[in-house]
Chain A
Amino acid sequence: MAEEVKATWPKGEEIVSALLEKAPYAEGSVRRERRLEFKVPADRIVDFLRTAKASGFELLLQITAVDWPNEGEIELVYQLFSISHGTHAMAKTRVPRDDARISSVMDIYPVAETYERDAHEFYKVVFEGNPKLEMPWILEDEDREAGVSHRKDFDMLGYVKKKYKILDRFDEDKENYVI
């Protein structure tokens, strides 16, 4: 089954090679029909997205942050969609976990402002050039101060125990809860 999934998609190969010609610093591949994947170094992401928008990727659907504590990195996945080519593409980049900084792509896709606020709130990634990062978003001030985040090292059960004072339902020795 796995070989079948990897079947090539000639149109995708063309799109990837055309884009990589303009952006030689990136790596690109075709995953399956209508799914492309690019790996971009973090300092070139603005250039890459500008090139991508010029070559037909009109929509930025989401910026997903994935925390990889073992590798000490946070992966940012820019989900792009091209209406003219009819394909989805992921642009993946990695930033160090301790000092998660990357420049904002607001100039290219204005909607990125919202996505960046979201990623900043939950993954503490700083997007340089975004004026609204400090603006209240989803969490309340007291949650922000208490350090709520979606990073892997955030101890959710401990936080819940402390915040809502419901000790009867939690057992400290247990690792897994049957739900």
Chain B
Amino acid sequence: MVDWRLFDPLFEYARKRSMWIVSFCTGCGGIEMPPLATSRYDFERFGVMPNPSPRMADLFLITGYVTPKTLKRIIITYEMQPDPKYVLAHGSCPLNGGIYWDGYNAIKHLDKYIPVDVAIAGCMPRPEAVMDGIQKMMELIETGEADGWKRYKENYEWYRKNQDELFGEGWREKTARRWIPWLMDKKKEVKEE
């Protein structure tokens, strides 16, 4: 039996150099993603690459404000990602609401619903700031401090309680079923059967 913990430093080193991001550009920060991914600020040199599927992604960029409707999808996508997974919150809005501090439809503290490893302040953060955040994330991964995914597992009840308080009990099923009556050609069929 091999003790795989011996190889952890090697794994962490490999992880920090190949972070694939979920291509879920929530909010306004999505506009800075193309410049970051293309020639001027090319973040592929850090091993960061956009990836369509959450099943193969390590890094989740929350680029900007989060509305409750999006947060439901963010939580589902986050739970679909395999371990280890890291969250980088981008801009002032996920931290404290930012300019929408009194808005009825913007999440004020993202950290209550999913664990955030690195947060970048500013509205909107410049690409340099985002790259700095990515480098900070790489440092944290190497030292093993980016443990948001472990915190999420350990404190799942607390996160779940906050989510349920915001959306109401059984929100996953409700969201999944919400559109069924409108997809059917005859509305009655669902109710009768």
Residues of chain A having any CB pair with chain B under 8 Å = 135-136, 139-143, 148, 156-157, 159-160, 163-166, 169, 177
Contact = CB atoms under 8 A, between A and B. Distances in A.
Contacts of A160: 102-104
Given A140-B68, A142-B168, A166-B109, A148 B104 contact: yes
Contacts of B103: 160
Nearest to A150: B104
Given A142-B168, A156-B102, A160-B104, 5 more contacts: A136-B179, A140-B68, A141-B174, A143-B104, A163-B104
**B interface SS class:** loop
Among A135, A142, A157, residue most surrounded by chain B Cβ atoms (within 10 Å): A142
Contacts of A142: 167-168, 171
Nearest to A164: B108
B46 interface: no
B166 interface: yes
Given A163-B166, A164-B108, A136 B102 contact: no
Contacts of A166: 97, 108-109
Contacts of B168: 142
Nearest to A132: B182
